Chains A and B, each alone.
Chain A
Amino acid sequence: MNIIIKGTTLLNPEQKINEKSDLLISDGIIKKIGSLNDGDYKNAKVYDFNNAYSVPGLFDMHVHLREPGREDEETVLTGSNSAAAGGFTGVACMPNTNPPIDTAEIVKFIKEKSQSHLVDVFPIATATHERKGEGLSPMLELSEAGAVAFSDDGNAIKSASLLRNAFEYTKMIDKVIIDHCEDESLAEGAMNEGITSTVLGLPPIPSIAEDIIVMRDIITAEYTNGKIHIAHISSKNAVDMVRQAKKKGIYVTAEATPHHFTLTEETVKSYDTNYKMNPPLRTKEDVDAIIEGLKDGTIDCIASDHAPHAIEEKEHEFIYAPNGVVGLETTLGLVLTELYHKKHLSIEKLVEKLSINPRIILKLPIPQFKEGEKANLTIFDPNLIWTVDIQKFQSKCRNSPFDKRLLTGKMLAVINKNKIYYENSFFTI
């Protein structure tokens, strides 16, 4: 079957394309770009979008799909649906499942689960055996099975010596280590340390818990010539360190989450567990530093850290409640509202951070607008105003502090693997 995407602006900063052009897609392949004729229209279903952009399919390199282990919270399937609903055509999923993604079998299991889905799912495997921080995971085998990176996400890689070995070992396969930067001995708390934690009486986590590990990782990467990607960067100092390291030519990349550039620790004042995150929400100063880091390129990409939690888990006391937010379905809207409309990021930059850069970091091919290429694209309207409704989430879970928030900018459709997701439904083209 053929479809025509009519009226959108094709935008791909990688190809330096930014032009209003129609697209003819046939059997999942871009057949024609621009001036379509009557013949093209004859046997095609036409999707007519106005004031919308078509961009290389968005990619979220930090999601938790909970399968295997907590299928009650999310599965590869529901997580992929959530990704599509949020405008993503690809995700990389973190290995802190149960059992963790530390064998080739589990990598393959996840890939198989997602095989027929529109959304590409790329497993990130553990860096250490059983994610226990005691000895490397079988990285060569994991890589061969399809793991795109290594991480002990949920925790930092336990020791500098393990990290050093991980850097050395992954050189053989040229894959990145993603680190959840948090010094455990400083992180036994429930929110960011400062006047707010004092006033609220919640056990604090100082921002240096993050900074110390970021510094350790950068120094170790420099020493070993390794590749480090800093997950969910959240502190001003950490952003500064990454900036300096990049200037020195050290291979370090970083991602930031929408909640870390939209919310501050002040929101915790309600004791609403939907604001409990790890790393914790920090101060206005930190939020500003994240935005600055996104603007000047210190922070390479935006990832949701999609972390679904069952209602019964979030309904616990603040200190016991789990961290995280259902992120996939609000990320694009938040980025457009808070970064694009507030003139921090251009559409081009935004596409780099949500589509191009994550793929570069994970060494995945970047979708192109070129005749003969696979159609992998996201169509969004940057000016469409909508209200977040957690009840309409495709994710199995509802934990989000953004419920009822008015956002400007929304995905309209995603296309990948010869499938289209449009108006809440999947169709095979």
Chain B
Amino acid sequence: MSLESKHLLGLYGTSREDIELILDTARTFREVLERPIKKVPTLQGKTVVNLFFEASTRTRISFELAQKRLSADTINFTTSTSSTKKGETFKDTVRNIEAMKVDMIVVRHESAGVPQFLTRISNANIINAGDGTHEHPTQALLDMYSIKEKLNKLEGLKVCVVGDIAHSRVALSNIYGLTTMGAKVSVCGPSTMIPHSLIKLGVKIYNDIDKAIQENDVLNVLRIQLERKAGDRIPSLREYRNYFGITTERLNKFNKEIIILHPGPINRGIEISSEVADGPYQVILDQVTNGVAVRMAVLYLLGTKN
């Protein structure tokens, strides 16, 4: 068994078989993470560059740890300013890095399409660690892994992504991945934060958080990103919290178990209350651990593919 593609650019068009293979393989690595020596020699001699054009400590650390646990050599190239602003073309930046003979590139960038662009100018395996508001496939894979770990299935589940959908790369990857796996995906948020066209993807749209809680098995709560000009689209964080925040009172209205995911970092008291974030239904810290396992799986499957 091996993946169809030599890259992981997104979950759009990724087959069910490939997603299953990644999730199954992640299970192996989840076990490795419980060992006294959490390291295997699988990617010895492989060089991986973490090319982060946008600050993202968590994702980068998770990838870096995954690489180290597979014994790959890792280099971090992190810059918050775009190369454009320095005068060097993006292509030159990447060619320079590739000239150092790297085998895999993990890339995060504020422009959608950068991972695709990299596949055209580099021979390395490309892993998308988030491009613009496009995709963040490993996040969605770890979300799926965490849901599956808790509920033993994905098929038939109802999953609602809550928050600023229009500016989320996690939402799209969740929609693609979960839909492929047979789950029913919906979104919930203020209507200024949801692109109308999502309906064309078969996604149900809620503007009422209570209804979303009532009708779903899983809530994937996104961070309200203050830095992404949320101000134009919601009147205040207070109003967002009051109408869309996930609180114990809201959850208690419905006598049911619901799994709460959050990709972090959490704005406690805004999109999710502390009580819920630390409560019995959350799998937020599991997601972090699973993230390393899922990323190990992706690195393994791409890095050892012939």
A and B interact: yes
Chain A interface (Cβ within 8 Å of chain B)? 193-195, 197-204, 270-271, 312-313, 315-320
Residue B292 CB within 8 A of the other chain: no
Q: Is B254 an interface residue (CB 8 A)?
A: no
With contact pairs A271-B116, A317-B90 given, residues A201 and B110 touching in the complex (Cβ less than 8 Å): no
A312 to B88, alpha carbons, bound, how many Å? 8
B residues in contact with A320, CB < 8 Å: 82, 84, 90, 111
- By the criterion CB–CB under 8 Å, are A202 and B197 in contact? no
Interface stretch, picked from B39-47, B59-67, B132-140, B156-164, is B132-140
- Are B84 and A201 interface neighbours, CB within 8 A? no
Pair A200/B82 contact, Cβ less than 8 Å: no
Instruction: Flag if B198 contacts A318 (CB, 8 Å).
Output: no
Task: Assess A315 versus B89: contact at CB under 8 Å? Given A195-B200, A201-B133, A203-B132.
Answer: yes
- Cα separation A312 to B83 with both chains bound (whole Å): 12
Q: How far is the CA of A187 from the CA of B272 in the complex (A)?
A: 33
Given A316-B90, A318-B113: A201 touches B198 (CB 8 Å cut-off): no
- Chain B residues with CB under 8 A of A313: 89
Q: 17 interchain pairs (CB within 8 A)?
A: A193-B197, A194-B197, A198-B201, A199-B12, A201-B135, A203-B133, A271-B113, A271-B116, A271-B117, A313-B89, A315-B90, A315-B91, A317-B111, A317-B114, A318-B113, A319-B111, A319-B112
In the assembled complex, the Cα of A313 lies from the Cα of B88 at a distance in Å of: 10
- A197, A202, A317, A320, most chain B CB atoms within 10 A: A317
Interface magnitude class on chain B = 20 to 34
Chain A residues with Cβ under 8 A from B112's Cβ? 200-202, 271, 318-319
New contact pairs (15) apart from A200-B112, A318-B111, CB-CB < 8 Å: A195-B200, A195-B201, A198-B195, A198-B201, A201-B134, A202-B132, A203-B132, A203-B133, A271-B113, A271-B117, A313-B89, A315-B90, A316-B84, A316-B89, A319-B112
Of A199, A204, A315, A320, chain B has the most CB atoms within 10 Å of the CB of: A199
Q: List residues of chain B with CB within 8 A of the CB of A316.
A: 84, 89-91
- Nearest Cβ in chain B — how far from A70, in angstroms? 15
The 8 tightest CB contacts between A and B, nearest first, are A201-B134, A271-B113, A317-B111, A201-B112, A319-B111, A195-B197, A315-B91, A201-B133
Q: How far is the CB of A320 from chain B (nearest CB, A)?
A: 5
Residues of B within 8 Å of A202, CB to CB, are: 112-113, 132-134
Cα A195 to Cα B201 with chains together (Å): 8
B172 contacts the other chain (CB 8 A): yes
Among residues of B, the one whose C-beta sits closest to the C-beta of A312 is: B89
